[in-house]
Structure 1
């Protein structure tokens, strides 16, 4: 579900409700989470940016965790965007490999907690085409996906 709301609210206000009907036994905290895949999962108050989480009736709050998203566009000819979510500020390393495992590029940077993106151009992958692998590493978190570069 993608949503955005702009206005004033108190901690007692209900902005929206969600009714979930289970089809199997599971802990909600294991199957429901907040993601910045389409809309940044953040709130603003007193000039500060805050993370958004889900508050379950047992008092447990599930905050947005580490997540890496599929690059867009995919396939790409000129450049592509790799998005990821960080649970806290971290140094991030993006490594891109060709199909044989040869490292084409390594990009490093410091990123803030929340949703971030890295723009990758065709020149940064040495003009390679075909299936490429990319890995994002942030502290103890690592995720790998594949993308396709075309001529």
Structure 2
């Protein structure tokens, strides 16, 4: 596409805000459902927002545009998960990201709970994430295709504490696989001491760390130098009344 045409499309999308979220309200049970953890953003703070899709296995491809109000928050980056760098167009000045993804065959079940991608933002105001982030169909039309070649819609849902049943959550690390460092994001319904334990497939403890965290979305940053090995591993989040384990892959440098 010529630059002049692309610029016009970007300008036309700029300022639409979350009006495009109305498109996502035309939902059916077969829609591709993207999810992000709801949280109260604070002015001057940076956030990493993992986006997942619980029913990703039903589709063979999708495309959409993401809009985040640039007057309220700055897009500073996007980190791949299941989707990779070449699946995105990144236009931070306009608060816009375009995305397109497809696969030749359905993803294996063990991949379906992994993070699609992680948005990186700096907030300029105190505001809920759901008030500034949404999907739209310009410049990239918002649509998904099932494994039966049926066109379906796409929605973006926000997992608030109430919707979660106010329970702790552990998200898939991002990026995964990784060779230098990865971010392990989790949600706490109340302030608590949290412990992260990394084990190899034989159960040997390779790394352990803990900290005191407040209520809401939190994270550990894990470096390859912390575990000093590569391969398939398990990481476990432990609190007084919560324990969950997920797999990750460390690639040798």
TM over 0.5: yes
* Alignment pair present for 1:119 and 2:116: no
CA distance in 1, matches of 2:196, 2:211: 9
SS in 2 for 1:76: coil
Which of 72, 75, 78 aligns to 2:177? It is 75
Specify the alignment match of 1:57 in structure 2. none
Q: Is the 8 A contact 1:35 1:64 kept in 2?
A: no
Q: 1:141 and 2:229 equivalent?
A: no
TM-score (norm: length of structure 2): 0.39
5+ long unaligned stretches in structure 1: 1-5, 7-14, 24-33, 55-60
Specify the alignment match of 2:191 in structure 1.
89
Indicate the RMSD between aligned Cα atoms, in angstroms.
3.2
How many pairs were matched up? Answer: 117
TM-score by length of 1: 0.63
Q: How do 1:1-151 and structure 2 match up within 5 A?
A: 18=25, 21=28, 35-36=36-37, 41-43=38-40, 53=160, 61-62=162-163, 64-125=166-227, 127-151=228-252
Instruction: Please report how far the alpha carbon of residue 18 of structure 1 lies from its aligned counterpart in structure 2 after TM superposition.
Output: 4.2
Q: Whole-Å Cα distance in 1 between the matches of residues 231 and 184 of structure 2?
A: 17
| Long gaps (5+) in structure 2 | 1-16, 43-125, 129-158
Distance 2:36 2:166 in 1: 6
The runs of at least 4 aligned residues of structure 1 exceeding 6 Å deviation read: none
Shift of 1:43: 3.2
